[in-house]
Structure 1
């Protein structure tokens, strides 16, 4: 390995250590369970740094082999030493929650979120940012034109919604729709998405019905009697002929 490549590896190691061990919040990253981050989201953050656009998962794996300090499980990564904490059970009254916080969503999720609220799934937390600019920067990692939502954080917190600080940002497990303020959905786009969802549901229902009817069925085999040859010989005797024979014998 050349000195240039070694310097690049060392620089990447120090960047990963800073992000994962000290300040994931500065990069808009929120850990999942056990302190793990999604590698693809880490790569998005790394690529924003000048001179690190080349980094791929293989480069991170090489750093781990040569330098240590990190653990990969599947598509997730964490630092062995972490100097940050995140406790979702901590909902004390001394937390200073801003009146409004911001979070980005993809354009295609706009209508759904306004109708249903925000929930990312088990052990996944929603990042809430103090400025719309920070939210937009993070949102552009997934969508070139993200929708920025305003969250009535202070009101939500006062009414019992769990929101906790994580470094310079805040995180929540869910955001009910009553606390979300967002730009109106374009009527045409909203109608198209609604029709698409209905069409998809109808297609799924039709498939379910087809599967239900096809279960346990078998193909019918119909024989064409028109081309069948007649059997030679006498026809089988019917019951009338048998009766006549019996009468003749008993006269």
Structure 2
């Protein structure tokens, strides 16, 4: 590796160390409880700056396996700093801004207005103090996200908990009465209603589909015995002929 490459790698390592160990919230990154962030999210954050737009996953591996390996840990598709200076607060904020912002995908717009916002698993909802930051985060998931306003102070008074994480605010759930956003276009509203009410119709089953496992249906039209394929009254056999002969003889 040339000196220029070494210098570039060390510079990138310092940026990533700051993002993972000191102030992940400045990069709009929310690590898990163990300090890991997904490499996908880390790369998305780095690509928002022209100076680090070149970074690929191979550069992250190079840092974790090179001279800086004592500072970072790469585990599958996630990465963390071994020593971290930030921490999550478990104490709800005693005061919050009147309005906070977040972004949702277009396809989640109607659901969010009607049902509210929910976190998934151990992840938090991430709220921002300004529209620009919310839009920045939203564009990582949708090219044209919808900005949602959260009446945070009103929600806090009704026992909705908010937690401080640097310049960001975290929450687990935001009820719909504390959410405001642009009107949902009619086509999206109709699609959301259709998806919620659609009931799968039972499939029409014909005779061939009514077979059960291990069974079969007789097809009389394919019977090799032509006598069994004749429709209508059953043909007379030798017993019927004998009875008729005895009746005729007796008369």
Smaller-chain TM-score bracket:
0.7 to 0.9
> After alignment, is 62-71 or 27-36 more displaced?
27-36
1:222 is the counterpart of 2:224: no
Deviation at 1:52, TM superposition (A): 1.5
Partner Cα separation in structure 2 for residue 226 and residue 123 of structure 1: 65
Show the counterpart of 1:161: 160
Report how many aligned residue pairs link the two structures. 232
Show the counterpart of 1:35: 35
CA contact (8 A) 1:129 1:135 kept: yes
Q: Secondary structure at the match of 2:51?
A: coil
Deviation at 1:10, TM superposition (A): 1.3
Distance 1:198 1:221, change over 3 A: farther
* Residues 48-59 of structure 1: pairs in structure 2 closer than 5 A: 48-59=48-59
Deviation at 1:215, TM superposition (A): 9.4
CA contact (8 A) 1:95 1:164 kept: no
Show the counterpart of 2:172: 173
> After alignment, is 166-175 or 131-140 more displaced?
131-140
Partner Cα separation in structure 2 for residue 181 and residue 215 of structure 1: 54
What do residues 67-86 of structure 1 show as CA deviations (whole Å, max 9, x unaligned)? 21222333222211111011
Distance 1:7 1:215, change over 3 A: farther
Q: Secondary structure at the match of 2:74?
A: strand
Partner Cα separation in structure 2 for residue 61 and residue 34 of structure 1: 19
Show the counterpart of 1:247: none
Q: Secondary structure at the match of 2:96?
A: coil
Deviation at 1:236, TM superposition (A): 7.8
Unpaired runs of 5+ residues, structure 1, are: 245-251
What do residues 135-155 of structure 1 show as CA deviations (whole Å, max 9, x unaligned)? 112212222221111111111
Taking only aligned residues, the RMSD between alpha carbons, in angstroms, comes to 3.0
With the length of structure 1 as denominator, give the TM-score of the two structures. 0.80
What do residues 71-118 of structure 1 show as CA deviations (whole Å, max 9, x unaligned)? 23332222111110113x312xx6331111111111111001111111
Show the counterpart of 2:131: 132
Distance 1:3 1:184, change over 3 A: same
Distance 1:65 1:214, change over 3 A: farther
Partner Cα separation in structure 2 for residue 168 and residue 184 of structure 1: 29
Show the counterpart of 1:249: none
With the length of structure 2 as denominator, give the TM-score of the two structures. 0.80
* Residues 3-152 of structure 1: pairs in structure 2 closer than 5 A: 3-66=3-66, 67-68=68-69, 69-87=71-89, 89-91=90-92, 95-152=94-151
* Residues 227-246 of structure 1: pairs in structure 2 closer than 5 A: 228=225, 238=239
